A and B are shown apart, each in its own frame.
Chain A
Amino acid sequence: MTIRALWIISQEKGDNVSIRFSRRFSTVEHRAKILAGSSYVAVPEESTILQLLLTELGLSDPDKAYVAVRDDCLHRPRSPALELRVDGPEKGILWPMLVISQGPLILACLPLVDVPPEPRPPLASLLSVSQGLTLLAGLQIFLLGSGSKPDGEGLVSRLAMLPSVLLQVCPLGTPLDVPLLGPPATPTVPTVTGNQKQPAWKTGLHRGRAVVNVALTETVRSMQYGSRSRQDLWDVFGTVSCKCEVEGVLPNVMVTLSLPPNGSPLQDILVHPCVTSLDSSILTASSVDNCDSSAFSGPYKFPFSPPLEPFRLCSYTSQVPVPPILGSYQLREEENQLHVSVTLKLHESVKNSFEYCEARLPFFNRDQMSVVDVKVSYGQLDTSKEKNLLVWALGQKFPKSHEVTMEGKISFSGPTNGPSDPLCTGLTAYIKLYFKVPDMTLSGCSVDQHSVQVYSSAKPRIVTSRELISKDYFIWNSTGAAPVSSGPMMV
C-alpha cells in the first residue's frame, strides 16, 4: 500500500521533455528488495526512467513514423499500469508503473508489489495501485488546477511547494491524503465540544452564518446519424455539487433529489465519501441492466457531513426518451460546390430559454472556403478566421416553430491550411452543438430548497440551482459514412 517513487514530467509541444520533480522512498525500496527477492529490479536514474516512459507512452522519437520498440503491434501498453523494460546490467521489468497525463504534465509513480511477484499478480490484487492513482490524480489537480490549462508560473510555484505538500500527504511513500487545493486552512483552536472527533478530511471548522449551496448540472451527449441503419444515441449524466458552510465538528446535512411522477429512475449513482449512509434501493438502478420501470424512483436521500471545501456530493446517469435537439445534416458534393442542408428541432419538453446555443460546422482537410452562399432561417451565421468552420449562433431562443434551418452552397478554393482531422474528411462531416439551458434538467431531477435539511442550531441560508449543458453533441452528415460502427452499442 505504498509507492516506491514518484515523478512529475513536463512536456512542451513534444520536444522539451524533462523531469520536473522526483521523489524516491528509500524505506519502501528497502521493502521492495526483500519482497521481490531475486526478481528485484532497482529503480533506474532519472534519464533512463524518462526515456523508458516516453517509449512506452509512444512519445519517443516523435519524428519517426515507425520505431519497432515503440510501435510493435504485439505490444499493448496496459495503461494505467505500464511496464518498463530496463536494459543494461540491472536488467528487468519495472511494473506496475502508473501513469496519468493531462495537458503539459505526465505524472508517474511506481507502487510496491506486496504479493509474490511471480507469476505476475493481477493489478486488482494490489491496493497500492488504486491508491497511487488517487494520489496522482490529486497531485495533478493540485499542479494544474481543475482546468488543464498550462500556466507556467503557477506550475513552477506549485512544483516548489511539493516537498512540503508531500510531507503532509505522502511522507514515507504511503499516500495519506490528496493535496489541499486552497491555502491551508488556518489551524483551528482545539475544540472543547466534548468528545466528538474531527474528521481527518476536514481541515478546520466553519465559524459564522450557515450557507448551503447545492447545484445540479446535467450534461447531455449525443450521436445522431439521420440514418435508418443506425440508431441515434444520446445519454445524460448529472452531478450534484455542494458547498456547505455549517458550524460544528461533524454537522449533519441531508440533500434529497426528487423526480417528477413519471420520471425514469436515476442510475449508476456514485457518492462522495462524506455520505454517511446509503439506502440499498438507491444503488439498484443501473444503465447496464434491463430497465425496470417498477424500480425505485426516489426520493433519493443523501445524509452527509460536509467537508469545508466545495465537493461533488453525487453523480448519476439517466435515460431520457428523446434528445433535446434533434438535427439532420445533409451534404451533397456537386462540381466544386458543397450543398448544405441542416435542420435543427428543439424538443417541446425543453425549456426554450438558453444561456447560449451554437452550432459549429467544420470543413477540415479541404481548401479554404471561398464563397459561402448559405441562408439560415434564424440566428446568425459567421465564418471562422481560418475559413474552415461555419459558426451558427442561435442565441437565447428557438423561434416559435421550435425549428431552424440552414440551406445553401459553399465553394472551396485557396490554400489548404488549418486543422486536419481524420474524423472530418470529405462527406464524413459533422455538426457539433454547444448549448446551455439554465434552470432545467432533462431527467426532471431537482433539489427542492426545502428538502435540504441541516441539523444545527442556526437556521442556514439554502441556495439551489440546476442547469443543462451539452458535451460531444454530434450530428453526422447522413450522406457520408460516419466513422462509427453501426450496431446496437452505446455511445
Chain B
Amino acid sequence: MATNWAERISAFSRSPTRFLSGTTAEAFLAELLRELRDDRASYSVKVLLLSPLCEHPTLLCPSDSVGEETTLELMSVFAQCPPKFVGFRCHLLLALTSVLICTSCASGRSRASQDFLDLLLQIIQDPSDLHSDGSLRSLCATACDCLRELEACCPGLLSQRIELLGGLRQQETSRLHQPYAALQTLVLRNAVFQLTQEKGAGAEHLKALLGGITSVAWEADQDSGLMNNKDSAVLSSLILGNMGVVPTLQTGPDCKELRSVLSSLLEESYLLTPLCQAALLHRLTEVVAMVPSIPPAIFRAQLLRLLGTSEVCLLHSTLLMKCAYTDSLFSAEDEAFILKRLVVLSQHPRLTAPEKLFYMDCILHFPENRPIDSGDESLPVLLTPQLASALAPTVLNDSATLLSRFNLLSLVHLEEGEEAEEGQGLEYLYEHLTSLLHIVENGGSREIVVTFFRAVFLFLFYFHHVERYSTGLTEQLCKLYLHHTHLAPHLINLADQTQDKLSESNWAVGLLTALQKAITSLTQLSVKDVKWHLKMLARVAEEGEIPQRNTLSFLSKVITPSFSSLCESGDWRQGNNVLGVCRRLLVHPSLDSLLIPLADILQHLARCYRDTDIQDHARLYYTLLTTLSREKLAGVMMQGTTEGGRQVKKRSLSSCMSEGEELTSLLTIHQTEKAIFRLTEAQSEPRQQSKDVDLDQDEAENCPEEANAALEVYRAQFSDPSFASEVTLKYQLAHTNGHDSRFDHLFSIRLHFGHTDNHYEKLPDISVSCLFRERPSPVVQLRLKPRQPYPTTLHATAIFTTQDGLSWHTAVPDIHIAFEQTFMPLPSPRTWGQDGKLSAFEGLWEEMCTEKGESAISLFCCQLEEAALNALVRKHFLSYLVSDPSQKEELKVLFFLPPQCHILLKIRSKEDAVHFNIATDNWQLLPHIGSYLLTITAAQEDPPS
C-alpha cells in the first residue's frame, strides 16, 4: 500500500493534469483525506499524502467552500494526531496554510481560517512548549513560518499583534528567536505600510501600533484589509531605486518606540542565519525608507561587517540599502569602495561561478548615488577601463562567464573607443576572439563553437564600425569556414542576425561576398562540403547587391560530371540544395544577366539529374524562367515568402525542397487563427437506444414476472460486449460568428476528437462533405462509448479545404458532455412491456440496497409543489419512467448509463418535502447525481416568468 501511494503521489506531482484525467479532483481529495484519517496508515506515508495539498491546493480545492471543508478536515486530523509525530504535524500546518491562502479563505477571513490563526497563535505562545525538548520547538518554528506566510499573503492580518510578537522574540533564548524576528519584521513592515496609506495617520498611530493599543481611528478599517483593493503594491518590494517612489509616514522627529524596536532587531541580527539576516535587513530598509524621521544611519554599525562578508545575500542586501538611501547613508568614497568591492567579488577565486556572474550583473545595474540615466545596462561612471581590466575574459573561463565578461569589457571600451580607436582594450578583445577562433579551428567542442559565435556577434554589435577589426574578422571567418564547412549554419545565423540587428552596417553583405568568393574559387570539392557550400551560396543569393555570376559558374561546375558526381548520385537532398540556390537566383535583381547560364543549369538538371523529383522541379523552374515575364516570375516565386520573410521559415519536410514556392502553400496545411465552426447540441427528442424498440404492444408481457428471473434475462443481453455500450449524441456543425468570407464554403471537413480524461473510448474521426454558411447546418452524430459515464470535455480539431484549394487545420471549441447526456432508458429485451421493466427495477433496487461492492443508496430532498414536481417529471424523467405515470404516490425512474451502470430513483411526496430515494450500482456516480438533481430541482423551484 505504501509503495502504491508513493508512486501515485509522484505521478501526481509529475503531471497533475494527466493524473487527474484518470480520476477526478474530488475523488482524489476524498481519498487523500480518508487515508489521512486512517489510523492504520503510517505517518511517513501521511506526510507524503500532504504534498499534493501543499503544492497544488487549487487543483484539489477548486472552490472556497471545498477549501473551507478541507481545512476543517485537516484541523481535526491535527487535533487527533499524537504530539510525538512532530514532522507530520509540521507538514500538516504547511498544508493548511497552503489551502487557506490559495483558496482565498484566508484573505476572506473565513471561519476556518480564523480557527487556524487561533491555533497557530496558541502554538507559538504555548508556555509548556518553551521548556519541552527541542523537537517540539520545531512545531513552534513552523507555526511562525505559517503565520509569516499568512501575513505575507494577507498583509495586515497580524498588525494588532506586533507587541505580542516583539515580546516573544525578546524573551526567547533558544534558536526560536529567529522565526519570531522574521515574523515580527514582516508584520511591522506591513503595518507601517498600512499607516502610510491612511489619511492623517502619524506618530500617534505608530506609537499605538507598537504598543499594542488599538486606536479607534483605524480599527474601523481593519476588516477592509489591505488586499481588498486588489492592489499588489503592498506585496511589492519598495526598494526600486530611482524608478520607484516610497510611500512615507510623517511622524515628526519623535519616533522613540519604533527606533528602539529597530535597534533591538538590528543588534541581534548577527544571531540570524545569513539568509534570514538578509531578509530582515531588507524589510527594515523598507521600514526606515517609509518613516523619514528615522535616519538611515541606524544601519551604520552593521555596514563594515556586511561589506566584508563572503555571503552573497548579505552583500546584496547592503546594495539594496544603497539603492534605497543613496548618499544619505553612503558617501562618494563609500560608493567607490563598494564598486571596487564588486569588481573584486566578480572574479574572486573563492566564490562560485554563479555568484561571480551575479556580481557582474550588479556592476551593470550599480545603484549610483547620482545616476546619469536609467538605461537597461549602463556602466557606473566610476568603472574605469583600468578597474574593469580585472574582468577581462580568458579562454579558461566557462562560456557564461566568458560572454558576460566580454560584454562588460565591450561596454567599457565602447566609451573609450570613441576617443581612441587604437585602444588597448579593444585590441585585447579582438585578440581574445582570435584565440577563441584558434580553439574552434583546433576542433573545439560544440559549446565553444556556440560561445565563439556569440562573442563575435557581441563584438560586431559594439564595434562593427571599427573597420580594421571588422574586415579582419571577415577574413578570419572565411578561412575558418573553408576548414570547417560544417560551421555554415552558424555563419548563416551570424549573417542573418548582424544584418537584422545592425541595420546601419553592411558587414553581413561583406562577409557573404567574401564567402562566395572563397567558395567559388575552390578547385577541389568533397561531397560533404558541397552540401554546406550550396547552403551558403543559397544565403548569398538572397542578397540583391551581391553579383551572382560566380555562384552560377560554381553551380555549373558542380553539376559537371568531370568535376563531381553529384548528378550521377541522384541524391535528393543535394539536388534540393542546388535547386534552392536556383530558386533564389530566379528572383535575384540581376536575373537578366544570369538568364542564359541559369537556364543551362536548370536544363542540365532536368535532363541529367538522377532523381525524378529534382528533374521535375528543374523543368518547372526552367519553364517559369523561360516563359514568364520578370514581374510574373517574381510574383510567383515570392508568394508565400511575403508573410514572414526569411526569419520564419516553416519547418516542414516539404519546405526542405523549396520553401516559398507556390506549390508549397498548396501542399502545406495552414493553421487558422480562430475557430471557424463549432459543434452545438442539436435539440432532439428524448433519446432511444434504437428505433426498433418502439413499443411492440402486441408481443408485450412476454417476460418473467419474478424480479430475479427478469434480471437474469436482462443481464444475459450483455454477453454481447457491444450491447448498449454507446451513447449517440447529435450535434450541429455551424459557423462561428466571425466573418471571414474565405471560409464561407468549406469542403471535405474531417473532425478529429481528443479526450481530456480516460473515461471514454477513443472517438473515430467524422467526415462531413461540406459546410456552407447560408445553408442549414449539417448534423453529426457522436458515438460515445463510456468506460465510466462521467461528465467530460472533448477537444476537437478539424481539417478542411476552402474553395481556393488550400487545406486548413483549425481548432474547434471544446465540447462539454453533461452527466445527463449519458442517460438512456433501460435497454430491456424488445419483447418486454412495462411490467418487465418494473420487475427489473425491483430486482436491481433490492440488490443495490444491500450496498455490496460498488452499490450505494442515498437520499435527496427538496421542496416542490405538486405541479412543479409533475412538470419536472414531464420534462426530465418521462422517457425513463418505469412505473405507471398515473400512480402519483411513488414514481420509479431508471437511468441506464453505458457501459453497465444504473441509477434508480423512487420519488415520493412527503408532507414536508419531496424525497428522491437514490440507488446505484456505482457509488462514484453519487456526487454527479446529487449535482444533477440539484440543478433540475432548482430550476423548477423558480417558475419561469
* A residues apposed to B, CB below 8 Å: 1-2, 19, 22-27, 29-31, 34-35, 37, 45-47, 58, 65-66, 68, 70-81, 98-100, 114-116, 119, 121-127, 129-131, 133-137, 163-164, 167-168, 171-178, 187-188, 190-191, 195-203, 219, 221, 235, 237, 239, 249, 267-273, 275-280, 282-283, 286-289, 312, 314-315, 317, 365, 420, 422-423, 425-426, 428, 472, 481, 483-491
B175 with A199: CB separation less than 8 A: yes
Task: For the complex formed, measure the closest distance between the CB of A189 and the CB atoms of chain B, giving whole angstroms.
Answer: 8
A-contacting residues, B74-131, CB 8 Å: 87, 90-91, 94, 97-98, 101-102, 130-131
Partner of B311, one of A72, A134, A425, A486: A134
Residues of A within 8 A of B489 (CB): 65-66, 71
B432 near A485 (CB under 8 angstroms)? yes
Report Cα–Cα, A239/B355, bound state, in Å.
18
20 inter-chain pairs at a CB distance below 8 angstroms, sorted by A residue, are: A19-B14, A22-B13, A35-B235, A46-B13, A47-B14, A71-B490, A79-B353, A79-B354, A80-B358, A125-B237, A129-B358, A134-B274, A171-B142, A172-B146, A197-B271, A200-B272, A283-B308, A288-B387, A312-B350, A481-B438
B707 at the interface (CB under 8 A from A): no
Contact of A26 among B55, B239, B396, B490 (CB under 8 A): B55
- Residues of chain A within 8 A of B16, CB atoms compared: 45
How far does the Cβ of A30 sit from chain B's closest Cβ, in whole Å? 5
> Given known contacts A278-B308, A422-B439, A425-B443, is B349 in contact with A45 (CB within 8 Å)?
no
Q: In the complex, A365 Cα to B387 Cα: how many Å?
A: 38
In the complex, B807 has a CB within 8 A of chain A: no
B350 to chain A, nearest CB (A): 4
Q: Which residue of A lies closest to B355 (CB)?
A: A133
Is B305 a contact of A485 with CB atoms below 8 Å?
A: no
A172 to chain B, nearest CB (A): 5
Docked pose: A176 CA to B275 CA in angstroms: 6
Chain B residues closer than 8 Å to A176, beta-carbon distance = 145, 178-179, 182, 273, 275-276
> What is the bound-complex CA distance between A219 and B350, given in angstroms?
10
- Asked if residues A31 and B235 are in contact (CB atoms below 8 Å), the reply is yes
Query: Residues of A contacting B394 with CB < 8 Å?
Result: 484-485, 489, 491
User: How far, in angstroms, from A452 to B357 measured CA to CA in the complex?
Assistant: 36
* Bound Cα distance A174, B305 (Å): 24
Q: Known contacts being A197-B177, A273-B277, is A484 close to B435, with CB within 8 Å? A: yes
A122 and B310 contact, CB distance less than 8 A: no
Give the shortest distance, in Å, between B302 (CB) and chain A (any CB).
Answer: 10
Say which residue of A70, A75, A127, A203 sits within 8 Å of B320 (CB atoms).
A127
Chain A CB within 10 Å, residue with most, of B97, B148, B152:
B152
Distance between Cα atoms of A79 and B179 in the complex (Å): 32
Output the least CB separation between A142 and chain B (Å).
14
A-B CB proximity, top 3 nearest: A187-B134, A122-B365, A79-B400
Q: How far is the CB of A160 from chain B (nearest CB, A)?
A: 10
Chain B interface size range:
35 or more
Q: Which residue of A lies closest to B237 (CB)?
A: A114
In the bound complex, do residue A26 and residue B361 qualify as a contact, i.e. CB atoms below 8 Å apart? no
Measured CB to CB, the closest approach of chain A to B54, in angstroms, equals 7
Residues in B whose Cβ lies below 8 Å from that of A312: 310, 350
The answer for the CA separation of A465 and B138 in the assembled complex, in Å, is: 39
* B312 in the interface (beta carbon within 8 A): yes
Query: Which single member of B340, B358, B434 contacts A289 (CB below 8 Å)?
Result: B340
Task: Determine which of B271, B309, B317 lies in contact with A127 in the assembled complex, contact meaning CB atoms within 8 Å.
Answer: B317
CA A123 – CA B316 in complex, angstroms? 11
Residues of A within 8 A of B439 (CB): 422-423, 483
Which chain A positions have C-beta within 8 A of B314?
Answer: 273
Cβ–Cβ contact A167 & B142, under 8 A: yes
Per-residue CB proximity of B312-334 to A under 8 Å, as 1/0? 11111101100100000000000
Instruction: Give the chain A neighbours of B218 by CB distance below 8 A.
Output: none
Q: Which of A172, A198, A487 has the most CB of B within 10 A?
A: A172
Q: Which residues of B contact A276 (CB under 8 A)?
A: 270, 305
Name the residue on A nearest B50 (C-beta): A163
In the assembled complex, the CB of A373 is this many whole angstroms from the nearest CB of chain B, namely: 27
Residues of B within 8 A of A221 (CB): 349
Say yes or no: B145 contacts A174, CB within 8 Å.
yes
Task: Please give, as numbers and ranges, the residues of chain A lying within 8 Å of B94 by CB-CB distance.
Answer: 167, 171-172
| Given A30-B153, A73-B497, A133-B355, A271-B308 contact (CB < 8 Å) | yes
B427 partner residues in chain A, CB cutoff 8 A: 487
Interface centre among A70, A133, A249, A267 (most CB of B within 10 A): A133
Interchain CA distance A472-B395 in the complex, whole Å: 13
Bound Cα distance A235, B350 (Å): 13
Given A26-B56, A178-B275, A283-B308, residue A315 in contact with residue B445 (CB < 8 A): no
Say yes or no: A187-B133 contact (C-beta < 8 A), given A34-B235, A196-B173.
yes
Contact residues in A for B444 (Cβ distance below 8 Å): 422
**Are the C-beta atoms of B102 and A30 separated by less than 8 Å?**
yes
Report the stretch among B452-460, B553-561, B636-644, B927-935 that lies at the interface. B452-460
Task: Mark B residues whose CB is within 8 Å of A.
Answer: 13-17, 47, 51, 54-58, 87, 90-91, 94, 97-98, 101-102, 130-131, 133-135, 138, 142, 145-146, 148-149, 152-153, 172-175, 177-179, 182, 230, 232, 235-237, 239-241, 244, 268, 270-279, 282, 304-305, 307-317, 319-320, 323, 337, 340-341, 343-345, 347-355, 357-358, 361-362, 364-367, 376, 387, 389-390, 392, 394-396, 399-400, 403-404, 407, 424, 427-428, 431-432, 434-435, 438-440, 442-448, 450, 453-454, 456-458, 486, 489-490, 493-494, 497, 501
| Residue contact A177 to B276, C-beta cutoff 8 Å | yes
Bound state CA distance, A109 and B108, in angstroms?
30
**Across the interface, which residues of A come within 8 angstroms of B340, CB to CB?**
286, 288-289
Partner of A134, one of B153, B312, B424, B428: B312
Q: Is the CB of A30 within 8 A of B355?
A: no
Distance between A332 CB and nearest chain B CB, rounded to angstroms? 20
Q: Residues of B contacting A24 with CB < 8 Å?
A: 55-56
Contact flag A45-B279 (CB < 8 Å), given A24-B55, A134-B311, A485-B431: no
A249 to B323, CA, bound (A): 36
With a CB–CB cut-off of 8 A, which chain A residues contact B486?
65
Assembled-state Cα–Cα distance A50/B755 (Å): 25
B236 contacts A277, CB within 8 Å?
A: no
Residues of B within 8 A of A171 (CB): 90, 94, 142, 145
Contact A490 B389 (CB under 8 A): yes
User: Residues of B contacting A125 with CB < 8 Å?
Assistant: 237, 239-241, 320, 323, 365
Q: Is B305 in contact with A277, judged by CB distance below 8 angstroms?
A: yes
B349–A219 touching, CB < 8 Å = yes
The one of A27, A31, A134, A489 that contacts B313, using a Cβ cutoff of 8 Å: A134
Quick one: closest A residue to B310, CB to CB? Answer: A270
User: A133 — which chain B residues lie within 8 A by C-beta?
Assistant: 312-313, 354-355, 358
**Chain B residues near A19 (CB-CB < 8 A):** 14
Q: B134 — which chain A residues lie within 8 A by C-beta?
A: 187-188
B407 to chain A, nearest CB (A): 7
Q: Closest chain B residue to A59 by CB distance?
A: B447
Residues of A within 8 A of B458 (CB): 76
Given contacts A174-B145, A198-B173, 13 further A-B contacts (CB under 8 A): A27-B149, A73-B450, A116-B236, A127-B316, A131-B275, A174-B182, A198-B175, A199-B270, A202-B175, A272-B309, A273-B310, A276-B270, A490-B392
Given B17, B102, B177, B276, which contacts A45 in the complex, CB threshold below 8 Å?
Answer: B17
The residue of chain A having its C-beta at the shortest distance from the C-beta of B433 within the complex is: A485
Instruction: Please give the distance in Å from A491's CB to the nearest CB on chain B.
Output: 7
Q: B424, A488: Cβ atoms under 8 Å?
A: yes
Among B145, B174, B232, contact of A172 (Cβ-Cβ < 8 Å): B145
Q: Which residues of B contact A2 (CB under 8 A)?
A: 152
Complex CA distance for A270 and B352, rounded to whole angstroms: 14
Are A270 and B350 neighbours in the complex by a CB distance under 8 Å? yes
Listed residue (A47, A277, A279, A481) with the most chain B CB atoms within 10 angstroms of its CB: A277
On whether the beta carbons of A37 and B271 are closer than 8 Å, the reply is: no
A contact residues around B365 at 8 Å (CB): 122-125
Question: By the criterion CB–CB under 8 Å, are B279 and A282 in contact?
Answer: no
Measured between beta carbons, the chain A residues less than 8 angstroms from B494 are 73
